[in-house]
Amino acid sequence: MKNKVYIFVNGIMNNPGQSDNWTDRAVTWMHIHTAPDVIPAEKFEYFTGPLTRRLFQQYRSNKLARVLSFYFGADFDVVLVGHSNGCDIICRVLDMLTHPVKEVHLISPACHKPAYHNGLVEQLYVYIGGQDKAMKWAKLSEKLLGRWGLGYGSLGGISRTEAQRLFGVSNVNYEPAFGHSTWFEKGPLFDMTMSSILNPEGGSE
């Protein structure tokens, strides 16, 4: 059996210098809860604001692809987990890959439907909150600024029915009361999210 690594990618307005970002807590959680069969985890962090994120978006994607190349070279199964703009970075990476990825988890994704029809993503899971107001702004930005490539994707704002049609019932985790970042609130909700990432057993009905 191959070794597996989890890589967590943040969204906008994330300060890499803070030690309690969700990506930091996710790495710690994985190292604690996968013992004694430790599964390595790491974070791919960056900072960008809501209006500047497109300036270096492809650069960040290239850097993440470079990170993955080392794991592919060591014959690891890679699991990518992104939130919001981090999902857009992941989707850009998927477009560049020639090596299969074990799993992709898109949480409140500010991106478009990924083009993973090339068969290189073994399992893709989408997490959608029914009260995700950020996705309403993302959809509006896409309508107003999309022609200049400045809008956000709004995959995280589609309905549960549409998400299940696109990805399959077992690949959609829909929480009607969740907002954009509720998945990572400290305490039981964070544990629930991380448990779903570690052991995806099927989407919510």
- Residue 205 pLDDT: 45
- Residue 50 pLDDT: 87
- Residue 19 pLDDT: 87
- Residue 148 pLDDT: 55
**Burial of 15 per CB tally in 10 Å (0-12, 13-18, 19+):** exposed
- For residue 155, which amino acid is it? L
- Residue 36 pLDDT: 57
User: Comparing C-alpha atoms, which of 41, 88, 31 is closest to residue 67?
Assistant: 41
What dotted CATH number matches 4-198? 3.40.50.1820
Element (H, E) at 11: none
Tens-binned pLDDT, residue by residue, of the chain (205 aa): 688 999 999 999 999 988 899 999 999 999 999 875 678 999 999 999 987 888 899 999 999 999 999 999 999 999 999 999 999 999 999 999 999 999 999 999 999 888 765 689 999 999 999 999 998 877 766 665 555 566 688 899 999 999 999 999 999 999 999 999 999 999 999 999 999 999 997 545 4
- Residue 37 pLDDT: 67
- Residue 146 pLDDT: 56
- Residue 144 pLDDT: 54
- Residue 84 pLDDT: 97
- Residue 76 pLDDT: 95
For residue 179, the SS3 value is coil
| Residue at token pair 């099927």 | 202
- Residue 147 pLDDT: 55
**Angle in degrees, CA 25, 27, 30, rounded to 5:** 105
